[in-house]
Amino acid sequence: MIFDKFVKIQASRLKGRFWSSETAVMITFAVLVGLGAGLGTIIFVNMIEFFHDLFFEEGKLLGLPGTTYVILLPIIGGLIVGPLVHFIAPEAKGHGVPEVLTAITTKGGRIRPVVVLVKALGSAITIGSGGSVGREGPIVQIGAALGSTFGQIFKLNERRTINLVGSGAAAGIAATFNAPIAGVMFAMEVILGDFGLKNFSTLVISAVTASVVSQAVLGDSPSFIVPAYTLKNPWELLLYVVLGILSGLGAFLFVKILYFMEDLFDNWKFPPYLKPAIGGIGLGILGFFLPQVFGTGFDTIARALTGKIGLSLLVLLVFGKILATTITLGAGSSGGVFAPALFIGAVLGGAFGEAAQFIFPGLPASSGAYAMVGMAAVFAGAARAPITAIIILFEMTRDYRIILPLMFATIISTLIARNLEPESIYTLKLVRKGINIRARQDENLICSITVGDTMTPIDDFSTISYRASTQELANLFQETSHHGCIVLDDRDELYGMVTLSDLERAIDEERHDSTVGDICTRTVLTLFPDETLDDALRHFGAMDVGRIPVVNRANPRHVLGVLRRSNIVHSLSMAMANKHKSMRRINRLRMEALVGSELVELYLSKDDAMVGKRLNAIKLPENCVIVSIQRGRRVVVPRGHTQLLAGDRLIALTADGNVERFKNALSRM
């Protein structure tokens, strides 16, 4: 009896110490998430092989002769996946990572456990029936959902739950590619957007655990066997610069066509659960002529890396894979974009390598080397994840000799793609919904706004020739009400700056015959359009000036515009307003996810019947409640005796399905 009591007391103490220790809790759950993700990867890979055999073994499914039956396979797969995703777990639609980012941003990392099952089954059927998608996105979502499930079951706080979501994503990438370092980088660079050390240990433990589990069953060999590579000539790096540019353009094209297809299918008035089957028609026809676009395409990537595909077919596969993947995902099937991006990069790089060998015989390495670099460059451009791309290619091929051209092309591709489209293939989906996933990060706005985006263009600012008289200058100041203007020379280039103080000084000294060139300031501080407002403010403070010319970096005498203090104030005000707007939307989505209801905003005009009434006199629909009233700059806590006034903005919480009834009820008051 005494011993049993002693054991219970000690067990209770150990339990208390465990839950109070951040390190013990997170390491334990990181191991569990890694184990789950590793086992999930093994099961998912075997599911894909099972459905691939079921669909593609001739005559096994339909008993049709020849190869024409492959046209029907994506249609059949779409007929199964469409209802499965639409009616059970809509979050499983698409490529997975945006849904994980949405859960982190708007739901505190909460992902429904059923997503694991539906995503695994839906993606396995999609890939097995020929869907041109990857297995990595689904595995990321499955791992993230496992981490979220642990957080919800054990009632962990939001920060710990999000950490486990990232750990699950890292474990998924680590297990499927046998690349634990890349898994950690992917989670930090794409999922969490945070390179802080506070998440690092759990990400590493999950990734390593998942890799050990998957290696025990799937093996420890690299994903691709690549030929020996050597940099023949330093001038060859120039070819990799060109490849980086082409990869950035290819990544941009991939992203744009993907979202064009999604919009095309989303705007089509047709039952959503049948759209994957309609997309399967186009995919089946395309796959009949280019069977390499079916599935993940790892076999084709391996052939491109060894230079076993001709130039014409490589070029066709670049556009064929983009079209096949965008049709599959745009129609609403389930799968990832990671492997398709690698595929597009491999065939693009291979085609470039073949062309380079033809144009510069003896200079370039084998086309396989360019295919290898193209894989990382296109993925980095599409995902905005250059660190992940560089490391994952190294871990997948285990060839360090190509690291220099790899880093070169990958960074160039990322810069090109980012300039063409600021958002990645993962974040663009959220931004189009009004969700800024980085809104909660402590970003210094003044360091993120450039001078070029803030300045007044030169056409909208006063300029005067250095040959003009002081009387002409006085007339200009009187007409424009400005206190300073730019002085230009005979070639309309920067000569100096003149202010109202300069004019008053000339008048006091009775220098009536002076020209503007005589009284202006010749030594002028200038800014470049790519500098930030943080840089500009330091100049304003040091020189105590009210305006600074902005000039072309290539030609510092060519004036592009003027930066004034009022420009800075306006830009910061707009940036703060946009940030607050994003935060309000995120908080609203988080509230709706938390209580399972929808927040509704209603503005009262003077003609609304409820104006002047007290809240206790208004009959609201069932499961509806007014949570706050915005009255000017004040927030009024609603009470029964609170009287509604014209101009009030009501924030109400209403159960799903009651939104329209709520609005109609208030409009009939």
For the chain, where do the domains classified as CATH 1.10.3080.10 start and end? Answer: 15-218, 236-431
The arrangement of strands across the sheet holding 463-465 comes to 463-465, 484-488, 494-499
Q: How far apart are CA 545 and CA 542, in angstroms?
A: 8
For the chain, where do the domains classified as CATH 3.10.580.10 start and end? Answer: 446-570
Q: Check residue 187 and report its DSSP letter.
A: I
What was the pLDDT predicted at 412? 94
Token pair belonging to 69: 């039956």
What phi-psi label fits residue 481: left (phi over 0), alpha (psi between -120 and 50 degrees) or beta? left
Burial degree of 209 (CB within 10 A; 0-12, 13-18, 19+) = buried
User: 385 φ, ψ to 5°?
Assistant: -135, 70
Q: Taking Cα atoms as reference points, which of 637, 633, 644, 635 lies closest to residue 609?
A: 644
What was the pLDDT predicted at 442? 43
For the chain, where do the domains classified as CATH 3.30.70.1450 start and end? Answer: 596-667
Burial degree of 100 (CB within 10 A; 0-12, 13-18, 19+) = buried
Q: How far apart are CA 105 and CA 586, in angstroms?
A: 7
Q: How many other C-beta atoms are found inside a 10 Å radius of the C-beta of residue 511?
A: 13
List CB contacts of 300: < 8 A, sequence separation 6 or more.
292, 309, 317, 343, 346, 347
Strand 624-631 and strand 649-655: the pairing is: antiparallel
DSSP helix/strand/coil, 540:
helix
The structural architecture, per CATH, of the domain 596-667 is 2-Layer Sandwich (3.30)
Superfamily of the domain at 15-218: Clc chloride channel (1.10.3080.10)
Q: Taking Cα atoms as reference points, which of 516, 355, 531, 341 lies closest to residue 424?
A: 341
List CB contacts of 139: < 8 A, sequence separation 6 or more.
37, 40, 41, 44, 172, 173, 175, 176, 336
What was the pLDDT predicted at 196? 65
One of 3.10.580.10, 3.40.50.450, 1.25.40.10, 2.40.30.10 is the CATH number of 446-570, namely 3.10.580.10
Q: How many other C-beta atoms are found inside a 10 Å radius of the C-beta of residue 449?
A: 19
List average pLDDT for each run of 10 residues in the chain, which is 669 residues long.
Answer: 53 53 78 91 90 74 61 89 88 81 80 84 90 87 88 82 90 87 88 74 90 85 70 81 94 94 90 91 91 89 89 94 93 89 94 89 80 92 90 78 86 93 86 67 62 85 87 86 86 88 84 84 85 75 72 86 82 68 58 57 76 77 72 74 80 63 58
Q: How many other C-beta atoms are found inside a 10 Å radius of the C-beta of residue 42?
A: 18
The residues that bridge with 636 in the sheet, in sequence order, are: 629
Q: Give CA 284 to chain center in angstroms.
A: 30
| Structural contact between residues 388 and 188, judged by C-beta atoms closer than 8 angstroms | no
Q: How far apart are CA 173 and CA 208, in angstroms?
A: 11
Q: Taking Cα atoms as reference points, which of 220, 209, 222 lies closest to residue 40?
A: 209
Its pTM stands at 0.72
Token pair belonging to 415: 């810069």
User: 300 φ, ψ to 5°?
Assistant: -70, -40
The CATH code that applies to domain 236-431 is: 1.10.3080.10
Q: How far apart are CA 475 and CA 468, in angstroms?
A: 11
Q: How many other C-beta atoms are found inside a 10 Å radius of the C-beta of residue 256?
A: 16
| Structural contact between residues 601 and 651, judged by C-beta atoms closer than 8 angstroms | yes
Q: Check residue 221 and report its DSSP letter.
A: S
| Structural contact between residues 283 and 329, judged by C-beta atoms closer than 8 angstroms | no
